[in-house]
């Protein structure tokens, strides 16, 4: 390896390390800004029977209607393999690489399907979205079922808990103006 190649390698490694450090710093700041968002409910000791269950991928939780605005707080931005368990009491979300959580039925505002959410885009209607509340913040939680059969089964069970909602893609201007908002308020902009 020549001296020029070695210097090029060192510069490339330094740029990569700097980029990773900046991404981690950004993620940390996002979590701090979103710390006012209530944590999801822990799984109850017992779940109501019968339950409809299915495996797939936990996509992400975002602010309601803002499917490109990931919530980093409480590990809600971690995409991983998961399973949903739907019953009359609500939805249990079992995740392999993050804490499990529960969405009580009374906090579910609606169900829909979308083409994608931040980090995961598939065919039309391929991601199931559960709109619910975390404290006073309305959020959308996305799940991608492992098969069309599982997708249809889970969707039918979820629609028994809440009505179907229709979402329209929001404009990039609206998304940018609402980015980081909690209940429509920007923590860093309040006095």
pLDDT digits (tens, 9 = 90+) for 20-46: 888 777 766 666 777 779 899 999 999
pLDDT of residue 181: 44
> pLDDT band at 167, cuts 50/70/90?
low
Say which CATH topology domain 52-178 has.
Answer: PH-domain like (2.30.29)
> pLDDT band at 128, cuts 50/70/90?
very high
Of all helices (H) and strands (E), which one includes residue 131? Answer: strand 127-134
143: nearest Cα among 74, 66, 62, 88: 62
User: Using CA atoms, how far apart are residues 45 and 43, in angstroms rounded to an integer?
Assistant: 7
């Amino acid at each position: 390896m020549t001296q020029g190649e070695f210097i090029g390698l060192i510069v490339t490694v330094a740029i990569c390390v700097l980029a990773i450090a900046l991404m981690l710093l950004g993620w940390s700041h996002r979590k701090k800004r979103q710390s006012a968002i209530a944590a999801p409910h822990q799984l109850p000791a017992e779940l109501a029977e019968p339950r409809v269950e299915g495996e797939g991928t936990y996509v992400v939780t975002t602010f309601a209607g803002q499917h490109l605005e990931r919530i980093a707080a409480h590990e809600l931005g971690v995409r991983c393999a998961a399973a949903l368990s739907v019953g009359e009491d609500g939805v249990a979300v079992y995740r392999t690489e993050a804490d499990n959580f529960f969405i009580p039925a009374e906090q579910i505002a609606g169900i829909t399907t979308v083409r994608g959410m931040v980090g995961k885009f598939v065919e039309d209607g391929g991601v199931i979205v559960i709109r619910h509340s975390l404290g006073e913040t309305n959020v959308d939680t996305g799940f991608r079922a492992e098969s069309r059969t599982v997708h249809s089964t889970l969707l039918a069970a979820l629609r028994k808990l809440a009505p179907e909602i229709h979402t329209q893609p929001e404009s990039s201007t609206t998304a940018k103006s609402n980015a980081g908002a909690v209940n429509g308020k920007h923590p860093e902009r309040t006095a």
